[in-house]
Structure formats: C-alpha cells, structure tokens
C-alpha cells in the first residue's frame, strides 16, 4: 500500500483553495476520476459520488472529483466543465487534470497514477495510502463496503490514546426479532 504521488491539477472548481493530497491526511479520500462526456461517469459515477458526499457529510471523508480528459479535448474545456458541474449541481471539489505536454493524450495525473480510463474510483486511507481502485461502474453496495471499512479504521484510530475501538463497538446494534 503505497502513497500516491500528488495530483497535477491546472484548475480547481467548487473549492476556494487548491487541494493537495497531503492536506487531506487524517481523512479518508474518495477520488472519482471522470470525463463529462463519459456515459458511465454521467449516468452512474458522478451521481453516486454526489450521493456519497451528501450522505456522509459528517464523516471523516473528503470527496474529490478529477476531470481527466484523454479524448475530445477540444470540447471538454474547463469552462464547459464549470457549466456542467453547475447545471448538474455537483458541489464537491473537482480538479482539472493537467494536460500532457507530449503526444500522449492522457493527462498527467492519469498517467502518473497508471489509470486505465474513466470512470475510476479510488479510496485513500487516512495515512494517504491508496487502498482501493476500481475502473468502470462500481455498484453502490460494493463501494460502500470498501468505504465503510476505511471509515471504520479511521474511527478506531480516532479513539483516545491507549484505547482502540473494538470490533464489537463498531458494529451496528442488532434489532430484536419479531
């Protein structure tokens, strides 16, 4: 489990301060890598990411989008992206992956992180280590299991010194049977 190199972002949308991965240490980070013309991203990945951001607003979780354009560069501009995010009411921070300076159509972060395409979901633990990567559409329940494990770990590590949360304390109480 290695730490990812920082993303290379040319512009940030939906946030006042440019984000660095190091700034997010101590929180679980969900990164949704997408293109606004990717059907899997538009129909599934982005709505799923927005639901997570809204439902887990009080959790030690940062939700970040990374717009990684590797095709149709002339139409997926930062200006078009800003309109797309506003029109669809996506409120989580979104970074624009820096375009490659050579003949490779893949942007810098996509290449540095060896991503296969979009949509891609990444989960980073509170120590900044990549713990989960999924290329393609991810079912809500499957992603929830992975995300829940990392949030549970974060909760256990937040326990007072000398006292770690036990597995039993972290479980949801069972409801009585009828």
Q: Is residue 4 part of a domain?
A: no
Residue 67 confidence (pLDDT) above 50: yes
DSSP calls for 60-106: SEEEEEEE---S-TTT--HHHHHHHHHHTT--S-EEEEPPPSSS--S
The pLDDT value given to residue 158? 55
Query: Each residue of 12-44: pLDDT tens digit?
Result: 999 999 999 999 999 999 999 999 999 999 999
The pLDDT value given to residue 168? 38
Q: What is the CATH number of the domain that holds 164?
A: 3.40.30.10
Q: Which domain holds residue 117?
A: 9-14+23-170
pTM of the model: 0.85
Confidence of residue 1 (pLDDT cuts 50, 70, 90): low
The pLDDT value given to residue 159? 46
Q: Is residue 76 part of a domain?
A: yes
The pLDDT value given to residue 32? 98
Cα–Cα distance measured from residue 147 to residue 162, given in angstroms and rounded to the nearest whole number: 25
Query: Each residue of 109-140: pLDDT tens digit?
Result: 999 999 999 999 999 999 999 999 999 999 99
Q: Is residue 109 part of a domain?
A: yes
At residue 125's C-alpha, the angle toward residues 119 and 129, to 5°, is 85
Count other Cβ atoms within 10 Å, centred on residue 167.
9
Which two structure tokens, joined as six digits, stand for 136? 């393609």
Number of domains into which the chain is organized: 1
């Amino acid at each position: 489990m290695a730490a990812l190199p920082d993303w290379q972002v040319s512009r940030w949308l939906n946030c006042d301060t440019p984000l660095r991965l190091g700034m997010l240490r101590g929180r679980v980070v969900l990164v949704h890598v997408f293109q606004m013309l990717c059907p899997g991203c538009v129909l599934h990945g982005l709505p799923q990411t927005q639901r997570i951001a809204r439902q887990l607003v009080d959790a030690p979780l940062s939700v970040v989008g990374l717009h990684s354009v590797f095709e149709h560069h002339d139409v997926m501009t930062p200006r078009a992206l800003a309109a797309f995010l506003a029109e669809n009411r996506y409120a989580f921070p979104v970074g624009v992956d820096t375009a490659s300076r050579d003949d490779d159509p893949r942007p810098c972060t996509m290449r540095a992180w060896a991503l296969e395409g979009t949509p891609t979901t990444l989960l980073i633990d509170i120590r900044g280590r990549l713990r989960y990567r999924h290329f393609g559409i991810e079912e809500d329940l499957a992603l929830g299991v992975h995300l829940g494990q990392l949030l549970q770990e974060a909760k256990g590590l937040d326990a007072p010194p000398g006292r770690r949360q036990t597995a039993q304390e972290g479980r949801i109480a069972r409801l009585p049977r009828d």
